């Protein structure tokens, strides 16, 4: 399926080397301020053209809002946005057709669809697909901010083995990290990670990373018991990102090494309301929001495309062969992928907030 959501339904379409990618968003309330400048600013966050090894394709992210917005306000009808592909080059992929690239989705798509899938640039499985999610995320973030005063941001805590050295950062620190060459709150980490990226690219290899998504305080009660838990829907949405390899909420796997007396967040009164003294669980109990900020981390695997010889199978001849990737590739998908995780978080939060009755059909100022 290419759709996610119940009351706020997001459907993406398009392939990496097709004419365009796009998204249709159904369930958008009327009266939300949504400008093309804002959508453009969100799309531009994923470009990283100032670090060429992160985006050799360097698309301009030319887009068009086709429906659902009039005079800068949403109309209550589906919002459709298309992002044009202008810089795709497919010649290289013709040379390796029927020779699935190790680490990519080529083999899985061939085994499922045979010769019918679009293999150019990875087709629908390419990280390029996430540009439609960023566009949808821009719409979702506008709704969250204007209607229930919730904001979502993200940053990298590790890239190519270089980790940030601080854990005393705030939500605003995370937002401001996007003003740096890389979205890392630690300036020294930015410098070292950039050096690693350039060095890795010259070696014809790639690296992975770990990102973190944070929100401001989320209203309590989002999520349904058992199978429609907010935590479960967030995990599903984030793990649908092509390079996502793992997710942990709050302290995550560290909790497994603690005793219950250490892991439990004590419940206290703050401003007359029950709150958590700490937030080791990442803002979720029973899979539902409890009025705290939501926080989770995502691991992203290295970009499968590398310039080192790798073994695969020629599916036409059914013989083992060696291939070397010579096309354009991002030395790491993590900086763009964490933005996709941020967007998917906003989408899921809007869906659950509508279902909880916190977001009306018409937003009145």
Residue-wise pLDDT tens digits, 245-294: 999 999 999 999 999 999 999 999 999 999 999 999 999 999 999 999 99
Closest CA relative to residue 310, chosen from 299, 319, 321? 321
CA distances from 331 to 54, 56, 58, 336 (A): 6, 9, 13, 11
CA atoms within 13 A on the CB side of 106: 20
3-355 has which CATH code? 3.60.150.10
DSSP structural state of residue 136: H
Pairing of strands 152-159, 273-276: unpaired
Under a CB-based contact definition with an 8 Å cutoff, are residues 205 and 324 in contact? Answer: no
Please report the pLDDT score of residue 227 as a whole number: 94
Please report the pLDDT score of residue 239 as a whole number: 98
pTM above 0.85, yes or no: yes
Task: Give the residues of the chain that fall short of pLDDT 50.
Answer: none
DSSP structural state of residue 186: -
**Count of other CB atoms within 10 angstroms of residue 107:** 15
């Amino acid at each position: 399926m290419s759709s996610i959501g119940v009351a706020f339904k997001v459907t993406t379409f398009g392939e990496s080397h097709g004419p365009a990618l796009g998204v249709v968003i159904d369930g958008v309330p009327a009266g939300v301020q949504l400008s093309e400048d804002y959508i453009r600013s969100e799309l531009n966050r994923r470009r990283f053209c100032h670090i060429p090894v992160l985006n050799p394709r360097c698309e301009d992210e030319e887009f068009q809002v086709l429906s659902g917005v009039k005079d800068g306000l949403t109309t209550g009808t589906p919002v459709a946005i298309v992002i044009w592909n202008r810089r795709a080059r497919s010649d290289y992929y013709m040379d390796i057709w029927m020779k699935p690239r190790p680490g990519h989705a080529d083999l899985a798509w061939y085994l499922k669809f045979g010769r019918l899938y679009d293999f150019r640039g990875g087709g629908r499985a390419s990280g390029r697909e996430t540009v439609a999610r960023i566009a949808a995320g821009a719409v979702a973030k506008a709704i969250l901010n204007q209607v229930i005063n919730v904001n979502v941001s993200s940053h990298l805590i590790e890239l190519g083995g270089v980790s940030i050295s601080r854990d005393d950062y705030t939500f605003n620190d995370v937002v401001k990290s996007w003003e740096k060459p890389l979205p890392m709150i630690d300036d020294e980490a930015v410098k070292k990670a950039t050096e690693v990226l350039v060095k890795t690219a010259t070696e014809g290899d790639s690296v992975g990373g770990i990102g973190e998504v944070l929100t401001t305080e989320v209203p309590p009660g989002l999520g349904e018991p058992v199978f429609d838990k907010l935590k479960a829907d967030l995990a599903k949405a984030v793990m649908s990102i092509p390079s996502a390899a793992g997710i942990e909420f709050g302290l995550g796997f560290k909790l497994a090494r603690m005793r219950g007396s250490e892991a439990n967040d004590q419940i206290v009164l703050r401003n007359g309301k029950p709150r958590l003294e700490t937030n080791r669980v990442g803002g979720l109990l029973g899979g539902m929001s409890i009025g705290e900020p939501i926080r989770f981390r995502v691991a992203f695997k290295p970009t499968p495309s590398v310039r080192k010889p790798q073994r695969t199978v020629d599916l036409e001849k059914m013989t083992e062969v060696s291939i070397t990737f010579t096309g354009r590739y991002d030395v790491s998908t993590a900086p763009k992928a964490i933005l996709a995780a941020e967007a998917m978080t906003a989408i899921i939060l809007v869906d659950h907030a509508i279902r909880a009755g916190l977001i009306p059909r018409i937003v009145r100022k």
